[in-house]
Structure 1
Amino acid sequence: MSTCRHDTVHVRRLARELAMCLPGARRVNRGGRSLGEMLALARYMGARRLVVVYRGLGGNPGRIAAWDVGGEVARRIPATLYLRGVVFSGDKRVPRASSDVYVYSLGEESEYGLDVASMFDLTYVGVVGVDELGGLSGRALLVEPVKGRDFLFVLKFYENGAYIGPRMLVKSVRYYRARDTGDNA
């Protein structure tokens, strides 16, 4: 988990909170490294994914992109999430994920559940109803479709009967052709 080259406080905070919410994730300070150097560093550290939070308008988090660095060559994950906004968890710190996190679509089937699961290297389980949330064990990443608003869905983490971590309002998902990036991007 890292940030863009010219990050802000909010971009760094989203990267830090995502690293705390996702199992096995580490927040790596980018410094002056290029994307190719970050991909090589992630591969050296034994990571399977490199997730980068980019800055948008006004210095707020604008998009989230990911690369699969588990193989011989780094490949970009086709889906990129463009954010409308982020609601942070408040003053309390998010506890680090101790077990697996599963992705669920909240209320109705969403085609974006698989994209989110692929981006964060998680398992997509399926649909869960609002009344079934109490029966979930462990931490879950919920994809809640929103109709009639200027965003597609909301990503939020749920654990032990409460929402934790950041809530990300996703306004669009753009798909890019997956290609080999080698050591440069």
Structure 2
Amino acid sequence: MAVTQQLARIPAERLAFCHKSAGESPDGDPHWDPPTADVLDLDWAPALLESVCELGGLDDVHLNALRHSTEGDTAIDLGFLNTHPHAIGPFGPAPTALPAAQVARVSELLWQIDLPALLTALPTEETEAVSLIGGPALIVGGLRKYLLDHFDALREFYHDASQRRLLVVLRWD
């Protein structure tokens, strides 16, 4: 199975429960199991979206919001989610998170990004466009559709998290 970007939106209380559970469990099990409806698999889209936004000339404020949406922040200690044998992201960097206030700001800024306009900076020839942004040789359905679908899913995910005042945990798995 390929390593892909995974996001989960959860209440702060649930994260506190997982932290406590990891500390009290003999084997450090945090009982991490967010509902499927609150998990998003971004596949390999984060780096490709960032490349397209850079090529399209997206301003720093919005580009940083996009980066935060896929990289998180280290302000929340998630070490307990990264311990063997129950690590939630054993194949990539340590899990990170965004607190609810940052989720709200990121959500607002993501909705201001016009990805279709930024995609016009890509060459029209698919293979050339994929090569330019460093994507895999074959993207089923086409590069632009792939990027739009994943970006729309990311925006919707953050919008819902913002509306529900949830934090977002990010990991590669």
TM-score by length of 2: 0.28
Greater per-residue helix proportion: 2
TM-score by length of 1: 0.27
Q: Which has the higher contact order (CA 8 A, sep 6+)?
A: 2
Greater per-residue strand proportion: 1
